[in-house]
Structure 1
Amino acid sequence: MNGLSMRGMEKSFGAVRVLDGVDFDVRPGEVHALLGMNGAGKSTLMNMLAGAISPDAGTIAIDGAPCAFSSPFDAKRAGIGFVVQEVDTALFPGLPVYENIAADELARATQRPIRSLRQEKERAAALLRRVGLSIPPTKLVRDCSLHEKQLIVLAKVLSSDARYIILDEPTAALSEAETKRLFAIIHELKQQGVGFIYISHKLKEVQEIADRLTILRDGRVVYQGATDSLSLEDIVLHMTGTKRRTSANQARTYGGDIAFVARGITIDKTGTTVDLYAHRGEIVGIAGLVGAGKTELAESLIAHRKTAGEWEIEGQRYVFPSPYEAIEAGLCLIPEERRKQGLFLPESVRANITVRLLSHLTRWQWIKQAQEAEAANALVRSLAIHPPSSATAVRHLSGGNQQKVVIGKWLNTNARVFLFDEPTKGIDVHAKQDVFAIIRSLADEGKTVLYFSSECQELLDICDTIYVMVDGRLLARLPAAELTYEQLVYYCSGGEIDESAGRFRDAVEKNGAVYS
């Protein structure tokens, strides 16, 4: 039989059964989507296929020939490629693009190869063109944007002659135009006989790109068939087992006092200056397309990036030379790249979720382990982290549960202003509702929340007020209840903001935050 097949795949971690007899296959020249809520078993199944995890039971075959992968090298040699969601983990930031593309080949060499730098650069340039990326192959990876890195990883996979490519949340960091370009590349590679396994929480994109889909729930296959045979509502029903919950932005009340002001904050990447403010208990959105400068602003606000400006928290003025002073004053950042910037992946949930509390959990530089475990377990229970064990290695958690850990480590600190940068990236609809509930509870406690996102509907669902960001500038401050989805998308795309926004500009100026 032509194609790749997995039959009867089973896997347990301790007493937790993650996969229970899963069958999955992908044919040459097709896109087969693998869907499911966080924790459904998708990552475990794909890590088996990629040689990173050994199954407890089950078989893998390519073109009818049985395969046994004891390492990722075995899977790559068999023609399996994996474009991971956290692309920074697959690249060497200090090396140029062409050396990153050739890295796997050099690592496999049994003796030092004779290398032609000119040929390597030409080969890398050809692969970059194949994925629609027009950057010099000598560019250092650390100087590349997130979407450029994703396409570099795809080029790297293609360099190994992969026949079956796993794409894990491939459009999470891509703009609409970049997504269309990626889809065009996928269609081209399909014509060449490459098969794709497509994992995404963006279901409309799945409907557009996938030929077939398999839906997992609780480690079992609950649907497998043609994509066009299911509606969007049916897909969600199979994933969750329940009707989709609709969320509406219910009117909230918050304090009239301004709790946070940032004046003259510079964004080095865009060369712009930003002013903003927020009330106590207010959820303020920063809306912008991918590349608008949202992450750079969030990092500037916590002084992670080189910046200038002045901060005011609860009436007290600050100048922050580094993140240490910003954190001490009550700011905290839940970063977009949680696995890279927000977690110690090899460590336990307990170590991660109590890291900001160590000064209260130590005596003579020794950690009081009983108190640490008690504090961690209380947070795990209150946040409904699954599995409910603080001893679990955080790398084994789903994306949504990892995000709860990143948030949880700040909850019992002196943090007063919470900066959430794309907090729902790569998590499912139920996990999003859990994150929304945490954010609303923080605001209800009087914390100030800034929510940075390119997901316009999410901003309308969760925020009280929304700043529109275009090319590194904040163009208006608007009440979320008076915006439609179409208006917000239009404004973020550079559309002219109507005159009614002027009264909010006046309010900003009266409060001392003047637009640049």
Structure 2
Amino acid sequence: MNGLSMRGMEKSFGAVRVLDGVDFDVRPGEVHALLGMNGAGKSTLMNILAGAIPPDAGTITIDGTIYTFSSPREAKQAGIGLVVQEVDTALFPGLPIYENVAADEFVHVKQRPIRSLRQEKERAAALLRRVGLSLPPTKLVRDCSLHEKQLIVLAKVLSSNARYIILDEPTAALSEAETRRLFAIIDELKQQGVGFIYISHKLKEVQEIADRLTILRDGRVVYHGGARSLPLEDIVLHMTGTKRTAAAKQARTYRSDIAFAARGILIDKTGTTVDLYAHRGEIVGIAGLVGAGKTELAESLIAHRNTSGEWEIDGRRYVFSSPYEAIDAGLCLIPEERRKQGLFLPESVKTNLTVRLLSRLSRWQWISWAKEAAEADGLVRSLGVHPPSSTTVVRHLSGGNQQKVVIGKWLNTNARVFLFDEPTKGIDVHAKQEVFSIIRSLADEGKTVLYFSSEFQELLDICDTIYVMVDGRLLARLPAAELTYEQLVYYCSGGEIHEPASRFHNAVEKNGAVHS
């Protein structure tokens, strides 16, 4: 019997039942979407399939053969491939593409096929063509774009003859054009008999690309059927167990004094300079398409990238030359790539939450374990981290709970200006609302928030003011309440900005520090 089948999968971590008799299958040449809120059991089910963790019960059958995986290597040998969300973690940036494509053979194959250097490059080039890339195989991975890296990982997976490929949030950081190209490649591979497991929180994309979908809630299958026959509202209902109702945006007030300003900040990647400002308690959005320079601006503001310019925080002027100086002055960054840049994955929730507080929790360079535990437990409760244990290893948390930890480590510091770069990337609807609640609470406390995102509806929902960013430049500063979704898309796509832009260009900080 052809196809991949998982039957009666069960898994518990301590007293918490994560999977409760889950059935899931994939046919050759189809895309089967796996949906569910963060913590529903998706990651655990896929980790079992990829050989990363063993199930407590259940069977895996692939093309008529029953398998029990004790390692990812065994899963790969059985034809399972995984394209992870953070593709940089699956590649060696300092090596050329062809060596990355063949890397698994060096590690996992006892008797590696003997191929000349020319044959290695030709093989890699053929695999790159199969995924729609025309890059030279000698190009270093670190010089590739994020979209190119994602397709390189896909080529690497195909090099091991994977027949069933797990795609984890594959379009989370892709532009619309890059998403179209990825979908075309998936369609081509489907014709070659490759089956895909597609995990995403972009439900409209799921309906477009998937043939079938399975929805998990609390470790159980609550829906299984055709992807296009179920309306979006019903998908959300199955995922959450409650009806989603449209809520009007709550009007917010913030102080008139400017708490944060930046002038002449150089974005070295685009060669542009940026001026911006934000009032105390204001949530300011930076809206732009993928590739507009939002992440580069956020990293320049925290002085992580080579930059220049002048900062002002609570009336005091600064010139930063390192993130240490920016953080010491009251800035903090919640980065887009939380697993790569925001967390110590092998460490506990407690260690991650208290890493910025060690000077307060230690004496004579000795950490008070009691103080550290009390601090972490308090943050876990206030943030609503699930499971509610500060001793849990952070890599075992869902994406939404990991994001809470990334935010939480800054809450009891001197941070006054919070930079959120794509903070809802790869997290579900419920977790997004929890992150929004944290952000609003920070603003209500008088903190200043800059929210960098290509999710335009999120910006309209949470922000007081929105800057429009195109090709590394801020073109307008607009009241969020006066914008529609369609206008914001139009402006960020390069559309002409009319009257509201004049207010932006003429706005001047009252004390003359920054002309925006």
Query: TM-score, normalised to structure 2's length?
Result: 0.98
Quote the offset at 1:113 in angstroms: 5.6
Quote the offset at 1:144 in angstroms: 2.1
What does the per-residue CA deviation read over 1:124-171, in whole Å, with 9 as the maximum and x for residues that have no partner?
222222222333222222222222211111111111111100000000
Return the alpha-carbon distance in structure 1 between the equivalents of residues 408 and 316 of structure 2: 26
Amino acid at match of 2:331: L
Which residue in the other structure is 1:21 paired with? Answer: 21
Kept in 2: contact 1:32–1:210 (CA 8 A): yes
Secondary structure of 2:17 counterpart: strand
Which residue in the other structure is 2:427 paired with? Answer: 427
Which residue in the other structure is 2:310 paired with? Answer: 310
1:256 paired to 2:222 = no
Kept in 1: contact 2:475–2:501 (CA 8 A): no
Quote the offset at 1:509 in angstroms: 7.2
Return the alpha-carbon distance in structure 2 between the equivalents of residues 134 and 420 of structure 1: 35
Cα gap change, 1:423/1:183 in structure 2, threshold over 3 Å: closer, same or farther? same
Return the alpha-carbon distance in structure 2 between the equivalents of residues 165 and 475 of structure 1: 41
Return the alpha-carbon distance in structure 2 between the equivalents of residues 361 and 411 of structure 1: 15
Quote the offset at 1:110 in angstroms: 2.4
Amino acid at match of 1:274: V
Which residue in the other structure is 1:328 paired with? Answer: 328
Cα gap change, 1:339/1:247 in structure 2, threshold over 3 Å: closer, same or farther? farther
Secondary structure of 1:95 counterpart: coil
What does the per-residue CA deviation read over 1:373-397, in whole Å, with 9 as the maximum and x for residues that have no partner?
0000000000110000000000110
Which residue in the other structure is 2:202 paired with? Answer: 202
Where do residues 166-185 of structure 1 align in structure 2 (5 Å cutoff)?
166-185=166-185
Return the alpha-carbon distance in structure 2 between the equivalents of residues 504 and 247 of structure 1: 29
Kept in 2: contact 1:54–1:70 (CA 8 A): yes
Amino acid at match of 2:371: Q
Which residue in the other structure is 2:235 paired with? Answer: 235
Where do residues 277-316 of structure 1 align in structure 2 (5 Å cutoff)?
277-316=277-316
What does the per-residue CA deviation read over 1:442-491, in whole Å, with 9 as the maximum and x for residues that have no partner?
00111000000000000000100000111111111111000000000111
Q: Which runs of 5+ in 2 are unaligned?
A: none
Quote the offset at 1:115 in angstroms: 3.9
Secondary structure of 1:449 counterpart: strand
Amino acid at match of 1:198: Y
The percent of aligned pairs where both chains have the same amino acid is: 86
Which residue in the other structure is 1:61 paired with? Answer: 61
Return the alpha-carbon distance in structure 1 between the equivalents of residues 320 and 192 of structure 2: 54
Which residue in the other structure is 2:503 paired with? Answer: 503
Which residue in the other structure is 2:447 paired with? Answer: 447
Secondary structure of 2:476 counterpart: strand
Which residue in the other structure is 2:193 paired with? Answer: 193
Which residue in the other structure is 1:165 paired with? Answer: 165
Kept in 1: contact 2:478–2:500 (CA 8 A): no
Return the alpha-carbon distance in structure 2 between the equivalents of residues 108 and 348 of structure 1: 30
Kept in 1: contact 2:258–2:509 (CA 8 A): no
Which residue in the other structure is 2:368 paired with? Answer: 368
Secondary structure of 2:216 counterpart: strand
Where do residues 73-84 of structure 1 align in structure 2 (5 Å cutoff)?
73-84=73-84
Quote the offset at 1:111 in angstroms: 4.9
Kept in 1: contact 2:208–2:228 (CA 8 A): no
Return the alpha-carbon distance in structure 2 between the equivalents of residues 455 and 251 of structure 1: 20
Amino acid at match of 1:411: L
Kept in 2: contact 1:249–1:481 (CA 8 A): no
What does the per-residue CA deviation read over 1:5-24, in whole Å, with 9 as the maximum and x for residues that have no partner?
00000000111110000000
Amino acid at match of 2:214: T
Return the alpha-carbon distance in structure 2 between the equivalents of residues 366 and 139 of structure 1: 47
Kept in 2: contact 1:249–1:463 (CA 8 A): no
1:269 paired to 2:266 = no
Return the alpha-carbon distance in structure 1 between the equivalents of residues 449 and 129 of structure 2: 42
Which residue in the other structure is 1:381 paired with? Answer: 381
Return the alpha-carbon distance in structure 2 between the equivalents of residues 111 and 366 of structure 1: 50
Quote the offset at 1:247 in angstroms: 4.2
Quote the offset at 1:424 in angstroms: 0.2
1:32 paired to 2:32 = yes
Which residue in the other structure is 2:469 paired with? Answer: 469
Quote the offset at 1:89 in angstroms: 1.3
Secondary structure of 2:306 counterpart: coil
Cα gap change, 1:282/1:509 in structure 2, threshold over 3 Å: closer, same or farther? closer
Quote the offset at 1:344 in angstroms: 0.4
Cα gap change, 1:129/1:305 in structure 2, threshold over 3 Å: closer, same or farther? same
Where do residues 477-492 of structure 1 align in structure 2 (5 Å cutoff)?
477-492=477-492
Which residue in the other structure is 2:414 paired with? Answer: 414
Which residue in the other structure is 2:355 paired with? Answer: 355
Amino acid at match of 1:139: K
Amino acid at match of 2:473: R
Secondary structure of 2:40 counterpart: coil
Moved over 6 A (4+): none
Amino acid at match of 2:380: V
Amino acid at match of 1:171: T
Amino acid at match of 1:354: T
Secondary structure of 1:229 counterpart: coil
RMSD over aligned CA atoms reads: 1.2
Secondary structure of 1:189 counterpart: helix
Cα gap change, 1:270/1:484 in structure 2, threshold over 3 Å: closer, same or farther? same
Return the alpha-carbon distance in structure 1 between the equivalents of residues 124 and 490 of structure 2: 37
1:108 paired to 2:111 = no
Return the alpha-carbon distance in structure 1 between the equivalents of residues 126 and 115 of structure 2: 17
Return the alpha-carbon distance in structure 1 between the equivalents of residues 422 and 230 of structure 2: 29
Cα gap change, 1:78/1:321 in structure 2, threshold over 3 Å: closer, same or farther? same
Cα gap change, 1:514/1:131 in structure 2, threshold over 3 Å: closer, same or farther? farther
Secondary structure of 1:450 counterpart: strand
Return the alpha-carbon distance in structure 2 between the equivalents of residues 261 and 396 of structure 1: 38
Secondary structure of 1:61 counterpart: strand
Secondary structure of 1:120 counterpart: helix
Which residue in the other structure is 1:124 paired with? Answer: 124
1:90 paired to 2:85 = no
What does the per-residue CA deviation read over 1:288-345, in whole Å, with 9 as the maximum and x for residues that have no partner?
0111110000000000001111100001000111000000000000000000100000
Kept in 2: contact 1:132–1:185 (CA 8 A): yes
Amino acid at match of 2:37: M
Question: Which has the higher mean CA deviation after the structures are superposed, 130-139 or 281-290?
Answer: 130-139
Cα gap change, 1:509/1:473 in structure 2, threshold over 3 Å: closer, same or farther? farther
What does the per-residue CA deviation read over 1:246-304, in whole Å, with 9 as the maximum and x for residues that have no partner?
34432211010011111111111111111111111000000001111100000000000
Return the alpha-carbon distance in structure 1 between the equivalents of residues 38 and 285 of structure 2: 25
Return the alpha-carbon distance in structure 2 between the equivalents of residues 71 and 2 of structure 1: 23
Query: What count of residue pairs does the alignment treat as equivalent?
Result: 515
Kept in 1: contact 2:507–2:515 (CA 8 A): no
Question: Which has the higher mean CA deviation after the structures are superposed, 134-143 or 295-304?
Answer: 134-143
Kept in 2: contact 1:37–1:217 (CA 8 A): yes
Return the alpha-carbon distance in structure 2 between the equivalents of residues 190 and 514 of structure 1: 54
Q: Which runs of 5+ in 1 are unaligned?
A: none
Query: TM-score, normalised to structure 1's length?
Result: 0.98
Kept in 1: contact 2:288–2:294 (CA 8 A): yes
Return the alpha-carbon distance in structure 2 between the equivalents of residues 203 and 508 of structure 1: 42
Quote the offset at 1:426 in angstroms: 0.4
